[in-house]
Chain A
Amino acid sequence: MKTVLKHITLWFALACALFASGQSFAQETQTEKPEKFDSKSFIFGHTGDSYCYHITEINGEPICVWLPVIVKCKETGWHCFSSKHVCELKDGETFEHKGSQFFIEPIKADKYPGKLVEVKADGNLSRPFDISFTKNAFGIFLVCAFLLAFFLPAARMYKKDPMGQPTKYQGLVEWLTYMVLDGIIRPNVPENKVKKFAPYLLTVFFFIFFANLFGLIPFFPFGANVTGNLSITLVLALLTYFFVNIFGNKHYWKDILWPDVPIFLKAIPIMPIIEIISTITKPFALMVRLFANILAGHIIIMVLMALIFIIGGMYGAGMGGVMSIVSIFMTVFMTAMELLVAYIQAYVFTMLSSIFIGMAQQEPEHE
């Protein structure tokens, strides 16, 4: 306890000293106005999707991993080129490839912010069919590759030697799997259906958990904000909707479409419509919960980092240095909380999915 207090006092004293020197330094160099920091494009550039994987900038030269752009235009067919050509265009330039002109709309644009548009012959802008390998697609494939590489060898080891002594790696995989299987799936899904739904639920838990974790690691190749993207959580929620409703019991569908209520509630279909809407709102809530939690965490961390540059832009580099100590402390705490949120969101998504699947598989109690 005494050592902690000593550390806190020392760091606070350092911050105060830097503050004092920063103030005097700012007074001296008031002649040059520091340039304004564009915080909005900083924050949304890091949390959104992009065609290139921006790592850093050396001497004004951006160092990126140029991911491929794969589009299909109506007239000119398939185009596949490196995003280097379109990411480094100045304002007003377009990139010409096999007869079509392309450029990327800036984030502040009205119609297609941040997207690749094609300039047609008459000057109109249109969006081609775009299946580019963007940063988020790269992130998804990275998580999938990690999951395959992490879990499949354990399965093979068990298959080869079921009665053998498990290694430490097998023990880890077994612990993780049974934590989800016995903790989340078995309490909610009836026992005879566990084997049918456990693959999907386990996959969705580990995908969300590792995608959240990989979004927190700041360097290449891990920095992609996969689950903070509404499209990806939409697909996960649609999968849950599919598994709940396609494999639903006859009893489940009877309870929705013709429930056991007085006739005046189901003849004019009030109850069935409410029940059908409720089957949609439950996965919708799953989608927005996961998206908003992860995106909010990323935005908070980005804002704390951007504070350094905003203060530095307003008061000069000395104050920026002071701000960076405070900001880094806060960012460390926020990132630790984001680790907890990563696990909790995966847990809640899987638990709710298993509860919905279990509710759809209930046998009616016999009188």
Chain B
Amino acid sequence: MLLSTILEAASYGPAIAAVAAAIAVIGAALGLGKIGQSAMEAIARQPEAGGRIFTSMIIVGAFVEGVTLFAIVVCLLAGQG
């Protein structure tokens, strides 16, 4: 009852948006770390394929960043209104 009154009184939109953006960045960092790890292991196994592996790593990294930036855009909108 007290909690709901507190939640009604103040507007926590921007604060929760900031926390949500930080959580989204955790997901992005984990994903990109895994991509980098597997790319480096693959290049260490077969250095001749280094160029192609690097290109694929960049592309997959762009996809993972794209998904994260979906969440960031939603957080920006939530922080505004």
Contact = CB atoms under 8 A, between A and B. Distances in A.
Interface of A: 285, 288-289, 291-293, 296, 344-345, 347-348, 351
Contact of A292 (B58, B59, B69): B69
A344 B58 contact: yes
A348 B70 CA distance: 16
A344 B62 contact: yes
Nearest to A40: B80
B70 A292 contact: yes
Interface string B53-71: 0000011001101100110
Interface string B31-66: 000000000000000000000000000110011011
B62 A292 contact: no
A292 B59 CA distance: 16
Given A288-B66, A293-B66, A344-B62, 15 more contacts: A285-B70, A288-B70, A288-B73, A289-B62, A289-B63, A289-B65, A289-B66, A292-B70, A292-B73, A293-B65, A296-B69, A344-B58, A348-B59, A348-B62, A348-B66
B75 to A, nearest CB: 11
A80 B32 CA distance: 50
11 contacts: A288-B69, A288-B70, A292-B70, A293-B65, A293-B66, A296-B69, A296-B72, A345-B62, A348-B59, A348-B63, A348-B66
Contacts of A285: 66, 70
Contacts of B72: 292, 296
Interface of B: 58-59, 62-63, 65-66, 69-70, 72-73
A293 B59 contact: no
B59 A351 contact: yes
A85 B60 CA distance: 49
A293 B69 contact: yes
A288 B59 CA distance: 16
A288 B76 CA distance: 13
A349 to B, nearest CB: 9
A-B interface, 5 closest residue pairs, ranked by CB to CB distance from nearest: A292-B69, A289-B66, A348-B62, A292-B73, A344-B62
Nearest to B71: A292
Nearest to B66: A289
A155 B73 CA distance: 41
A351 B55 CA distance: 12
A348 B66 CA distance: 10
Contacts of B58: 344
Contacts of A293: 62, 65-66, 69
Contacts of A292: 66, 69-70, 72-73
B69 to A, nearest CB: 3
A293 B69 CA distance: 7
B71 to A, nearest CB: 9
A216 to B, nearest CB: 18
B59 A289 contact: no
Nearest to B70: A288
A288 B69 CA distance: 8
A351 B63 CA distance: 12
A308 B17 CA distance: 25
Contacts of B65: 289, 293
Most chain A CB inside 10 Å of its own CB: which residue of B59, B66, B70, B72: B66
B25 to A, nearest CB: 11
B36 to A, nearest CB: 15
A89 to B, nearest CB: 25
Contacts of A288: 66, 69-70, 73
B57 to A, nearest CB: 11
Contacts of A347: 59, 62
A292 B73 CA distance: 7
B50 to A, nearest CB: 17
Contacts of A296: 69, 72
Contacts of A351: 59
A344 B66 CA distance: 11
Contacts of A348: 59, 62-63, 66
Nearest to B65: A293
